[in-house]
Amino acid sequence: MKKLSIIIPTYNEAKTIDTVLTRVFGVELPGWQKEVIVVDDGSKDDTRMKLKKWEKKVTLIISDKNQGKGSAVTKGLRMAKGDIVLIQDADLEYSPSDYPVLLSPFENPQVYAVYGSRFLGAHLSTMFVYALGNKFVTLVTNILYNTNITDMETGYKAFRRSAIKFFDIKAKRFDFEPEITAKILRSGYQIYEVPISYYGRKFEEGKKLTWRDGVIALVTLLRLRWWKPQQNEKN
């Protein structure tokens, strides 16, 4: 049986964490064993209290200080033991019902990275400025790395753990998305995209991404354009 590691970074998600975990465990994945790793990144609300009842079903990592999504995901990656690693945000923007779609391409042994594209599947309308910024950053990714993806910033990313386990991820915040994308592409892997459903939040509903993160993403993409994997990162 294959093993799927699901990494869930959380920060002040007390309103949604129970629902997310219920949906994660409720998805039927024949032939897959789930390993769920929740990394709480210094939540100041009742997230940790809500997580207590899940302690026997998940691997729980607690950070006392908020360091950002990238830091939380990296901590989860260090703990992951699965053949495939999947990142699941805790804010209900992404539905675990899409797991079968995300995992299906890995039946091909040549596929090492799968991105769930919000622009290929059904989705609620998102804020225009946010969507425009996302498409611009994706365009820059395609130009710099000679690829052709539609959604670089998607929160639904899945990888063969063998492809990324030696990556030295420096990102602390949302720059995790461009860094992991750049390193995957510079390592010679292609990104396979599948359509997913998406339910975007507004800032007043708790969305944390800002225009500053878009600028940082561009800087990260430029900085890593000539990055080369070390020998142990290729094996």
Residue 201, pLDDT > 50, answer yes
Looking at residue 174, its pLDDT comes to: 80
Closest CA relative to residue 154, chosen from 129, 131, 170, 187: 131
- In the numeric block, which tokens belong to residue 13? 């998600």
CATH number of the domain encompassing residue 92: 3.90.550.10
Looking at residue 199, its pLDDT comes to: 81
pLDDT-derived band at 162 (thresholds 50, 70, 90) equals very high
Overall domain count for the chain = 1
Find the domain containing 22 and state its range.
Answer: 2-234
Q: How far apart are CA 220 and CA 177, in angstroms?
A: 10
pLDDT-derived band at 214 (thresholds 50, 70, 90) equals confident
Residue 164, pLDDT > 50, answer yes
For 194, residues 6+ apart whose C-beta sits below 8 A from its C-beta are: 101, 102, 104, 105, 114, 115, 116, 117, 120
Per-residue pLDDT averaged across 205-224, rounded? Answer: 78
Eight-state DSSP code of residue 119: T
What is the b/e burial string over 54-65, where b = at least 16 CB atoms within 10 angstroms of the residue's CB?
beeebbbbebee
